[in-house]
């Protein structure tokens, strides 16, 4: 689990594209020095699993194939295998060598919870529609997939490229294309990739997990009510017969 509080700005060091997947290596600086094989790191809000340790050394139990993959690995690097579905459904597929990315380690049980509950499970990919820079802050409008709009609300939480943010405006249900707006202070702009974002750039979106669970529970309640109502009607009809 994550909180959406970005700890470091990393840089994409290498991308090895395969048939329907990719191996991405990020210079995470000192953030992954103690991250072991199988550890998790959120990259632009996407929870990825380490296939190499932070210091470039494979664990003793690693297979020969995995050990060979560590040859020449630099200290502070984080490498993950990304399957095709993740590349298609998130903005990771658009990354290029040299791009900056938002990084966050998993939240320890004893850690301070400063953002909101972020799973690192991106629900969809949108794009920046507009950016309005004010004297001391900026307003960003992001287009989102229409099916995610019901999970958004003014003053509600959302994770955009892994950053925990508060929604300042949302689209109306009657609008053809869904969007959300957030206001960013200078500290957020300078410590995340939003400082460099431009209209048209992809944005990974994870809506509030509490909203998703609420919608899921309500859908079952409605379905159960419909089922029992139809069953009762059938029974009543049988009794009259």
DSSP letters along 158-213, please? Answer: EEETTEEEEEEEE--TT-SS-EEEEEE-HHHHHHSGGGS--TT-EEEEEE-HHHHH
Work out how many domains the chain is built from and give that number.
2
Paired tokens of 118: 């972020």
Indicate which CATH number applies to the domain containing 26: 2.40.30.20
> How far is it, in rounded angstroms, from Cα 14 to Cα 23?
8
Position 71 scores a pLDDT of 45
**Does 44 lie in the same domain as 132?**
no
For the segment 182-223, what is each residue's pLDDT rounded down to a tens digit? 999 999 999 999 999 999 999 999 999 999 999 999 988 877
Residue numbers of the domain that contains 198: 124-207
**Does 94 lie in the same domain as 158?**
no
Show Cβ contacts of residue 185 under 8 Å, excluding neighbours closer than 6 positions.
Answer: 136, 137
**Does 18 lie in the same domain as 91?**
yes
Determine contact, residues 31/106, Cβ cutoff 8 Å: no
Determine contact, residues 136/23, Cβ cutoff 8 Å: no
DSSP letters along the chain, please? Answer: -B-S---EEEEEEEEEE-SSEEEEEEE-GGGGTT--TT-EEEETTEEEEBSS-TTS---TT--HHHHHHTTTPPTTEEEEEEEHHHHHHSGGGG--TT-EEEEEEPPPTTS---S--B-S---EEEEEEEEEE-SS-EEEEEE--GGGGGG--TT-EEEETTEEEEEEEE--TT-SS-EEEEEE-HHHHHHSGGGS--TT-EEEEEE-HHHHHHHHHHHHHHHHHHHHHHHHHHHHHHHH-
**Does 131 lie in the same domain as 192?**
yes
**Does 85 lie in the same domain as 166?**
no
Determine contact, residues 98/12, Cβ cutoff 8 Å: yes
Beta bridge partners of 139: 132, 183
Position 37 scores a pLDDT of 86
**Does 101 lie in the same domain as 183?**
no
Residue 115 is assigned to a structural domain of this protein: no
Residue 234 is assigned to a structural domain of this protein: no
Position 61 scores a pLDDT of 42
Position 33 scores a pLDDT of 86
**Does 153 lie in the same domain as 94?**
no
Residue 146 is assigned to a structural domain of this protein: yes
Residue 119 is assigned to a structural domain of this protein: no
Low-confidence ranges of the chain (pLDDT < 70): 52-75, 224-241
Position 226 scores a pLDDT of 56
* pTM for this prediction: 0.82
- If one counts every other C-beta atom within 10 angstroms of the C-beta of residue 185, the result is 10
Residue 22 is assigned to a structural domain of this protein: yes
**Does 140 lie in the same domain as 101?**
no
> How far is it, in rounded angstroms, from Cα 115 to Cα 179?
22
Position 115 scores a pLDDT of 86
**Does 98 lie in the same domain as 29?**
yes
Position 108 scores a pLDDT of 82
Residue 151 is assigned to a structural domain of this protein: yes
Position 35 scores a pLDDT of 87
**Does 156 lie in the same domain as 89?**
no
Residue 38 is assigned to a structural domain of this protein: yes
Position 222 scores a pLDDT of 73
Determine contact, residues 19/180, Cβ cutoff 8 Å: no
Residue 26 is assigned to a structural domain of this protein: yes
């Amino acid at each position: 689990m994550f909180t959406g509080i970005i700890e470091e700005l990393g840089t994409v060091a290498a991308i090895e594209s395969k048939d329907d997947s990719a191996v991405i290596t990020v210079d995470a600086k000192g953030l992954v020095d103690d991250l072991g094989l199988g550890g998790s790191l959120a990259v632009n809000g996407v929870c990825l699993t380490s296939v190499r340790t932070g210091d470039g050394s494979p664990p003793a139990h690693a297979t020969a194939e995995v050990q060979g993959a560590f040859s020449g690995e630099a200290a502070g690097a984080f490498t993950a295998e990304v399957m095709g579905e993740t590349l298609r459904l998130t903005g990771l597929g658009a990354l290029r060598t040299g791009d900056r990315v938002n990084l966050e380690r998993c939240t320890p049980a004893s850690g301070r919870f400063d953002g909101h509950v972020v799973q690192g499970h991106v629900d969809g990919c949108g794009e920046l529609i507009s950016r309005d820079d004010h004297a001391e802050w900026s307003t960003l409008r992001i287009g989102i997939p229409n099916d995610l709009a019901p999970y958004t609300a003014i003053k509600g939480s959302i994770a955009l490229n892994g950053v925990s943010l508060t929604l300042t405006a949302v689209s109306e249900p009657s609008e053809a294309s869904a969007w959300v707006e957030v206001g960013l202070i200078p500290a957020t702009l300078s410590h995340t990739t939003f400082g460099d974002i431009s209209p048209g750039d992809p944005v990974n979106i994870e809506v509030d997990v509490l909203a998703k669970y609420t919608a899921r529970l309500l859908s079952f309640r409605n379905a159960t009510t419909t089922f029992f109502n139809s069953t009762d009607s059938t029974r009543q009809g049988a009794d009259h017969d």
